[in-house]
């Protein structure tokens, strides 16, 4: 959600902070601000709306200094106003704070501080923390008894001891212009290391083009930065030996290139993303998948007798596809849980249950909470995620990196199909560990090998899909329908359409039409069917005929060999024939393009849809 960028060095901080904020715009936000320390004071500028509004204000009112913090806010506590935008100053203006997360006990902190004369000018929980740091700064002696902390760092640490909730913060102090302090608990924070300069950010994307050397802070850690050094301490004041990671994303990966929007760029990057997911993961005999980071032996994997998948949003749809494939090919019972509900359900799990989480960012707060609950109860955990060094990647027993590159568009495209692809490979791995034959495994892997080329073929439909998408833009309601493996893709298609075009859309198993949704069918509510040749095709055709009889427009996304009665559908979109291991991915491509073109036709902001954030890091 919200984005943090901080800098300390010898350069003018303002342009660097603005550039970092621009690279975080995809996270979703409604206001932005910058604070820069100079001499013995902190100056700041905040604006509602896009980073461009903030940049315009800074042209008229430049801030000069070589240390600063900046933020893009997604409103939680308080309306979208300049007073509620970050950075939030303390009432004495000696501290300025940017904050991701939620401080649950902020009301009691505010009440405590008001009694002691501290003033509040916003509705935010963040201002309570800014004033609490100021309170401890006034209360604590300037010199540390043992010399292990600066006055500034100690005040931040003492304040955080009283905070309930989650936070990723960066703080400036007017009395310490050569220092920048950060801390995290439940909300990601990254330190970027440079030469004569250092950075802090909530997302590695903010640092692309500035540095490739990063440190991922763990929960409960604080960092003190100067232009030439960094020091990381635990909340118990113990020094932390940090691990420096090399970022493998390039600045070019996060730029538009020749595309009009990031979403379209990332749709067309899917063949390469799938190639990246497959590279180095084919066994020497070509009959199964291999993964280097599972940290579980084949013998232990054979003992797994139940798998629970957890995810949120689009990742949850990927979990549903994984369920279908693993149960069909590996014959292992699979359950799919909303990550947000898993830790509250207290579901009974067998001792040989494996908990598998899926998260593009590796920071999704509900998915991380589900992972931690599973680990707390002693279950083995694995993850599929796209960000090396993310919290989920570091806390799970093992996992699989997607290697899809940065995904900037809020609506997930290449990350989703990459998750489907890796789920299919996981199904093959489990199947070959059990009773799938070499020949069947080899054929399965061959279908995976063919997929990037088939996706290229599906992308060539973009021009014809533009016309259908523009037609779809004229409706306010839409149904997406599929059976078996294609039902989760119907859910994903509905989600994509409503995310970026704001058309109300619902996904259902096609057979459920008669159990309520058929009441919505009319000339003003089209139905999009996902169909392939197979045993349930006659049943789906019967569903189509029921809709046709009631005047509902029908669009069919169908495989080449799928036989549909002439005149039954208003629009047919044909995708290559595919086996189950790859069918869901091929069916996804036209849905992404239809949603994209429908949103464009309605004048929507495709890459930054209203009210949405790329990575949900608060409950």
Average pLDDT, the chain: 91
Q: Describe the strand order of the beta sheet including 41-48 as a list of residue ranges.
A: 41-48, 31-38, 67-73, 3-8, 198-201, 190-193, 213-216, 245-246
Across residues 486-499, what is the average pLDDT? Answer: 96
Report whether pLDDT(558) > 90.
Answer: yes
- pLDDT grade, residue 594 (50/70/90)? very high
Report whether pLDDT(424) > 90.
Answer: yes
One DSSP character per residue, 246-269 reads: E----GGGGS-TT-SSHHHHHHHT
For the stretch 324-356, pLDDT in tens is 999 999 999 999 999 999 888 887 888 899 999
Report whether pLDDT(414) > 80.
Answer: yes
Going by C-alpha positions, the residue among 276, 279, 278 that lies closest to residue 249 is: 276
8 Å CB contact between 432 and 302: no
**Among 223-232, 279-288, 498-507, 561-570, the least confident range:** 561-570
**Do the bridges between strand 353-359 and strand 88-89 make them parallel or antiparallel, or are there none, so unpaired?**
unpaired
> How far is C-alpha 282 from the geometric centre of its chain's CA atoms?
27
DSSP letter (8 states) at residue 207: G
Q: How far apart are CA 321 and CA 325, in angstroms?
A: 6
Q: What is the pLDDT of residue 618?
A: 54
Report whether pLDDT(617) > 60.
Answer: no
Q: How far apart are CA 403 and CA 415, in angstroms?
A: 9
Q: How far apart are CA 300 and CA 283, in angstroms?
A: 19
pTM, two decimal places: 0.83
**Among 5-19, 146-160, 430-444, the least confident range:** 146-160
For the stretch 145-198, pLDDT in tens is 666 789 999 999 999 999 999 899 999 999 999 999 999 998 889 999 999 999
Across residues 99-124, what is the average pLDDT? Answer: 92
SS3 (DSSP) at 218: coil
SS3 (DSSP) at 337: strand
- Structural domains in the chain, CATH included, are 3-252 (3.60.20.10), 278-457 (3.40.50.10490), 460-619 (3.40.50.10490)
Going by C-alpha positions, the residue among 7, 91, 96, 85 that lies closest to residue 51 is: 85
- pLDDT grade, residue 616 (50/70/90)? low
Q: Which residues of 202-213 are buried (b: 16+ CB within 10 A; e: fewer)?
A: bbbbbbbbbbbb
Q: What is the pLDDT of residue 75?
A: 78
SS3 (DSSP) at 148: coil
SS3 (DSSP) at 558: strand
Q: How many CB atoms lie within 10 A of CB 221?
A: 21
8 Å CB contact between 401 and 388: yes
Q: How far apart are CA 285 and CA 445, in angstroms?
A: 10
Report whether pLDDT(548) > 80.
Answer: yes
Going by C-alpha positions, the residue among 113, 4, 6 that lies closest to residue 67 is: 6
Q: What is the pLDDT of residue 146?
A: 67
Q: What is the pLDDT of residue 143?
A: 67
Q: What is the pLDDT of residue 432?
A: 96
8 Å CB contact between 287 and 445: yes
Going by C-alpha positions, the residue among 616, 615, 602 that lies closest to residue 504 is: 602
Q: How far apart are CA 101 and CA 86, in angstroms?
A: 13
Q: What is the pLDDT of residue 285?
A: 94
8 Å CB contact between 412 and 360: yes
State the greatest distance between any 2 C-alpha atoms of the chain, in Å, as a whole number. Answer: 85
Q: How many CB atoms lie within 10 A of CB 291?
A: 18
- Residues designated as active site: 2, 614
Q: How many CB atoms lie within 10 A of CB 190?
A: 26
Across residues 480-492, what is the average pLDDT? Answer: 95
Report whether pLDDT(39) > 80.
Answer: no
Beta strands in 443-535 (DSSP E): 477-482, 504-509, 527-531
**Among 155-164, 405-414, 459-468, the least confident range:** 405-414
For the stretch 312-325, pLDDT in tens is 999 999 999 999 99
For the stretch 63-93, pLDDT in tens is 999 999 999 987 777 888 989 999 999 999 9
């Amino acid at each position: 959600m919200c984005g943090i960028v901080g800098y300390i060095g010898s350069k003018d901080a303002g342009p660097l902070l603005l550039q970092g904020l621009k690279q975080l715009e995809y996270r979703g936000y409604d206001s932005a601000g910058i604070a820069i320390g100079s001499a013995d004071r902190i100056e700041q500028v905040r604006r509602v709306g896009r980073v461009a509004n903030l940049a315009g204000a800074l042209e008229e009112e430049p801030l000069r200094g070589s240390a600063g913090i900046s933020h893009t806010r997604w409103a939680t506590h308080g309306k979208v106003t300049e007073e509620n935008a970050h950075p939030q100053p303390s009432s004495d203006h000696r501290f300025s704070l940017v904050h991701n997360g939620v401080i649950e006990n902020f009301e009691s902190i505010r009440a405590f501080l008001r009694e002691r004369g501290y003033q509040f000018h916003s509705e935010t929980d963040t201002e309570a923390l800014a004033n609490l740091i100021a309170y401890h700064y006034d209360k604590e002696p300037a010199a540390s008894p043992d010399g292990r902390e600066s006055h500034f760092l100690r005040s931040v640490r003492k304040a955080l001891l009283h905070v309930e909730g989650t936070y990723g913060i960066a703080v400036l102090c007017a009395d310490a212009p050569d220092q920048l302090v950060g801390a995290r608990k439940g909300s990601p924070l990254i330190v970027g290391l440079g030469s004569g300069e250092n950075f802090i950010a909530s997302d590695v994307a903010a640092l692309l083009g500035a540095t490739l050397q990063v440190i991922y802070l763990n929960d409960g850690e604080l960092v003190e930065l100067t232009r030439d050094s960094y020091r990381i301490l635990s909340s118990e004041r113990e020094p932390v030996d940090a691990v420096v990671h090399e970022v493998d994303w390039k600045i070019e990966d996060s730029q538009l290139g020749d595309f009009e929007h990031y979403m379209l760029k990332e749709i067309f990057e899917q063949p390469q993303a799938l190639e990246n997911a497959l590279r180095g993961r084919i066994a020497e005999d070509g009959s199964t998948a291999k993964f280097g980071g599972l940290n579980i032996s084949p013998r232990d994997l054979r003992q797994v007798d139940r798998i629970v998948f957890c995810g949120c949003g689009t990742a949850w749809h990927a979990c549903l596809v994984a369920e279908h494939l693993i149960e069909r090919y590996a014959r292992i019972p699979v359950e799919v849980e909303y990550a947000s509900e898993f830790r509250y359900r207290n579901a009974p799990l067998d001792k040989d249950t494996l908990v598998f989480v899926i998260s593009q960012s590796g920071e999704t707060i509900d998915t991380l909470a589900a992972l931690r609950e599973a680990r707390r109860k002693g279950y083995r955990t694995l993850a599929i995620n796209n960000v090396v060094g993310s919290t989920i990647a570091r806390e799970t027993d093992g996992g699989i990196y997607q290697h899809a590159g940065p995904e900037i568009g809020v609506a997930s495209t290449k990350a989703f199909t990459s998750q489907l692809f890796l789920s299919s490979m996981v199904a093959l791995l489990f199947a070959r560990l059990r009773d799938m034959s070499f020949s069947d495994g080899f054929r399965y892997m061959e279908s995976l090998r063919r997929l990037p080329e088939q996706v290229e073929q599906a992308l060539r439909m973009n021009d014809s899909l533009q016309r259908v998408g523009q037609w779809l833009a004229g409706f306010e309601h839409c149904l997406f329908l599929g059976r078996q493996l294609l039902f989760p893709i119907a859910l994903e298609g509905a989600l994509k359409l409503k995310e970026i075009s704001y058309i109300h859309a619902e996904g259902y198993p096609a057979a459920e039409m008669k159990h309520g949704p058929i009441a919505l069918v009319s000339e003003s509510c089209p139905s999009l069917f996902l169909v392939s040749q197979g045993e349930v095709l006659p049943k789906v055709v019967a569903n189509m005929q029921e809709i046709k009889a009631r005047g509902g427009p029908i669009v069919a996304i169908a495989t080449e060999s799928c036989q549909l009665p002439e005149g039954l559908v208003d629009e047919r979109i044909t995708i290559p024939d595919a086996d189950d291991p790859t069918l869901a991915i091929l069916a996804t491509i036209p849905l992404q393009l239809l949603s994209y073109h429908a949103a464009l036709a309605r004048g929507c902001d495709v890459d930054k849809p209203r009210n949405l954030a790329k990575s949900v890091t608060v409950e």
